[in-house]
Amino acid sequence: MKMRKLGTTGIEIAPLVLGGNVFGWTADQATSFAILDAALEAGINAIDTADVYNRFAPGGQGGESESVIGAWMKDRGVRDRVVIITKGGLSMGENMEGLGRDYLTRACEASLRRLQTDRIDIYMAHRADPATPIAETLETFQALIDAGKVGHAAASNYTAEQLGEALAAAGDGRARYAVLEPHYNLVKRDEYEGAVEALCERENIGVIPFFALAAGFLTGKYRSREDLAGKAREMTAAGFMTPHNLALLGVLDRVAVRHGATPAQVALAWIMARPSVTAPIVSATSLGQLRDILKSTELELTAQDLAELKG
């Protein structure tokens, strides 16, 4: 598996990032450990999580995903073999939200405890915080970097304007965002393509998109509202179920048949072929799903495939 450089960080990662959003939620600890073991053995060396995973799930408190990953790293003794990416800033309870100096520092310390590590390789602002001056946020990131608790500062869900403002404010004791985690996939392209992508290319920002399979929609297993009924991601995936997107599943089917592949593999190969993207984030709740996903790294789409998928 050919490694890719993550922007200006000096870090090399595999062409897929393992998403930890399912750990401690739709994948229990034993299943999560098995998936993490198999991914690492296959060459996947970067794991993405966040402190709020899985606060949004029934009964969730937040921190479940980080705790599972931390327990796995300690049990397996693999901390030095993986790149840990986590995020802070979203609400974890009363007076526990935002990117201000006090809370962001506390959020980082809490993530470190759950992950059972002394450092976070890539620490992200989960989304922009209009209530906090960007200079304060970047100064806080820099203080965490200087203390050896964070390797690189990064951002998720930033617009081109927000990212541009952050990059312009960097320097003189303020960290520079080195990585962006945008919402981007074959059926959700408008937020990234255009100004955000151009800025990332110009500034050599590493890009690791989330929802690379559109909450499972691009696997092809959801083709009607009835298919989604009772599923954990019913509300999220339902938003992708439009006539245009359902027609696109037919295109995915045709391309997949030509390559003896699955729609999910084609969708991931498409996003990995985007020059500005370092590696998409993908999650799996079973070893079978992981094996299917991993095959996408071996799939090379033709110009005809890419033209058809472009629509």
- Our answer to whether residue 192 is catalytic in this structure is no
Question: What is the rounded CA–CA span in Å between residue 213 and residue 271?
Answer: 10
Instruction: Estimate the share of the chain in helix, then strand, then coil, as percent rounded to the nearest 5.
Output: 45, 15, 40
Catalytic member of 53, 184, 192, 222:
53
Q: Tell me which residue of 255, 273, 181 sits closest to 218, measured CA to CA.
A: 255
Q: Tell me which residue of 272, 169, 126, 254 sits closest to 213, measured CA to CA.
A: 272
The secondary structure element, H or E, covering residue 167 is helix 160-169
User: Are 252 and 299 a contacting pair, CB within 8 Å?
Assistant: no
The helix/strand/coil state of 120 is strand
Question: For tokens 């079973």, what's the residue?
Answer: 286
Tokens representing 248 are: 């696109």
**Active-site annotation, residues:** 53
